[in-house]
Amino acid sequence: MSVTTTSTPVETATSVTPVEMGATAAEIDASCRPPVLFFFTSAGVWLVLATVLGLLASIQLVAPQFLSGCPVLTFGRLRPVAENALLYGFASQAAYGVLIWMLCRLGRVTLCCQFPYLVAGAFWNIGVTLGVIGIFAGMSTSFKWLEFPRLAGPILFIAHMVIAVAALVSFHSRRERNVYVSQWYLVGGLFWFAWIYSASYLLLNSVQVRGVLQGVVNAWYMNNFLMLWLGSIGLASIYYFLPKLLGRPLYSRGLAVFSFWAYAFFANWTCFGALVGGPFPAWMISTSIGANLMLLLPLVGMALNWYQTIDGDMDTIKRTPLLNFTVASAAFFLLANVLQILLSFRSVSMVTSFTYAWGAYHTFFIFGFFALAVFAAIYYAVPRLTNIAWPSEQLIKLHFGATAGGTLLAGIGLLIAGIVQGQGINNPNVTFHDVLRSTNIWLILAALGGALIAAGQVAFLLNLLKLARTHSEPFRRSAIAFVTGNDAPIAGVKR
């Protein structure tokens, strides 16, 4: 299986010479297996659900009467469900799986404990399920990306804290004292998510800050959920796999240190780019625009570091399917952020604010950057965790092509739709109905992109479930044998 074998043999490429040897890779993988597989599998299921619901919602944008007779599936409920299922069901759980495994690998320690992760993972899924049902039932809080009814909040937060504390125990007991770039991002992500989620939840639902401050808190949360939570995990994956799969060390640690702190500091000030013209104090929006400009510093630092690490080695990239994921993810990260910076300028946002254009940014960031980054980790880690090769390499290629291509198509469609929409809204001689009609063709393009993305994720889930089936075969057989009392060995199954 080339996916698992063409990756370079240099397992330690990402870290400098080990001072003291910790656990071996095989031991670490064995210790991580149950929780990481649990998070990856449930993330895959939510991912397919979210992309299919998202596709239905994007069809409704073109054909408003589609499914409109059904209160549960009205656009105002479908869209938040699809977004929340994607962000909490898929993205956060995939992030947990990646960060547990990566923290152990980079720290050269076996996982401290499996049970808390599994319990927290189960509760996380319960929380997301309750939240999704709540939105469908009309109990949404209406705060974007915090739409889950209040009940779900504490469940998700406590589950996250259990995972974070357990992961920090692994980080603390690391044997490899040299802390690698990815670890800063992983630890940062765990801490930042705990803070933004609890603070926003309390300020919006318990303290109930007044008036537009709710909008401020909500924008702060959305920005940091993307930049600091998903962003951290995705960047950790890029910094980990780019040197590892290329088989050469990261170009510059100093540059990585600089990029990390500059990103950590400026990215959480860029909240109000999408709110230009809104009823907020002008200094807030100006500060955000300034922070957006400063964000160019870490972006240039990262781009330079990655570019120099790749060092023109297109051959290895072509030969290694997983590198395609990582390189494309890095490119989408830069693209998404540059787009975000452009969209927040006052002269541009005059046209693009409150339009589909911001959907393009979200698509590039979530599917292009974050999802591709964690897929690389999943495709790399799962065969090592289970000792089973991916059942189909074709499906992996299909998954990559559909996700990257679909993201590009959907993003471009939404961006152009947004520009057309914004120009139409700013021209008072065009009726609103005509504004809508003029965006239709681009929204159809975006929906096609969405369909492609959804198809890719189905391919991914099929591959994953097939592998999980093979993996669970011995357990299932022995469970059947235990129940039926028939302990005869079964041909072809390794115990």
Partner 1 sequence: MNSGPLIFFGIFLTLASSFWGFLLMPQMKMGNQQVTEIAETGQLYPIGHSGMAGQGAEVYRSLGCVECHTRQVRPRNLGGDIARGWGNRRSVAQDYLKDYPVLLGDLRVGPDLANAGVRHTNEIELLKLLYKPQSVNMGGMPGYPFLFQRNHLTQGQQPSADALKVEGEPADWEIIPSENARALAAYILSLRSDVSLFEAPLPPKPKPAGQDTNAAPASATNAQPAGGAPAASAPAPSANPAK
Query: Of 366-425, which residues contact partner 1 (CB under 8 A)?
Result: 421-422, 425
Distances in whole angstroms, Cα of residue 326 to Cα of each of 12, 306, 332, 368: 18, 11, 10, 10
**Residues 201-240: x/- map of binding to partner 1 (CB under 8 A)?**
--xx---xxxxxxxxxx--x---x---x------------
- How many other C-beta atoms are found inside a 10 Å radius of the C-beta of residue 264? 18
Among the listed ranges 26-34, 199-207, 374-382, 444-452, the one in contact with partner 1 (CB under 8 A) is 199-207
State which residue, 247 or 278, has the beta carbon closest to partner 1: 278
Could you tell me the smallest distance in angstroms from the CB atom of residue 251 to partner 1? 16
Among the listed ranges 25-33, 92-100, 292-300, 342-350, the one in contact with partner 1 (CB under 8 A) is 342-350
Could you tell me the smallest distance in angstroms from the CB atom of residue 80 to partner 1? 6
State which residue, 284 or 458, has the beta carbon closest to partner 1: 284
Could you tell me the smallest distance in angstroms from the CB atom of residue 86 to partner 1? 15
Could you tell me the smallest distance in angstroms from the CB atom of residue 245 to partner 1? 23
Does residue 65 belong to the site contacting partner 1 (CB under 8 A)? Answer: yes
**Interface residue with partner 1, options 20, 312, 315, 429 (CB under 8 A):** 429
How far apart are alpha carbons 93 and 418 in whole angstroms?
31
Among the listed ranges 125-133, 182-190, 370-378, 394-402, the one in contact with partner 1 (CB under 8 A) is 182-190
Residues 6 or more apart from 249 whose CB is under 8 A from it? 13, 14, 16, 243, 309
**Interface residue with partner 1, options 13, 30, 199, 303 (CB under 8 A):** 199
State which residue, 422 or 449, has the beta carbon closest to partner 1: 422
- Near partner 1 in 243-302, by CB under 8 A: 253, 257, 261, 264-265, 268-269, 271, 274-281, 284, 287
State which residue, 274 or 453, has the beta carbon closest to partner 1: 274
- Near partner 1 in 435-464, by CB under 8 A: 436-437
State which residue, 153 or 456, has the beta carbon closest to partner 1: 153
Q: What is the CA radius of gyration of the chain?
A: 23
Among the listed ranges 62-70, 303-311, 451-459, 464-472, the one in contact with partner 1 (CB under 8 A) is 62-70
State which residue, 44 or 422, has the beta carbon closest to partner 1: 422
Could you tell me the smallest distance in angstroms from the CB atom of residue 423 to partner 1? 9
How far apart are alpha carbons 217 and 3 in whole angstroms?
43
Among the listed ranges 44-52, 175-183, 387-395, 400-408, the one in contact with partner 1 (CB under 8 A) is 175-183
**Residues 112-151: x/- map of binding to partner 1 (CB under 8 A)?**
-----------------------x--xxxxxxx-------
State which residue, 141 or 340, has the beta carbon closest to partner 1: 141
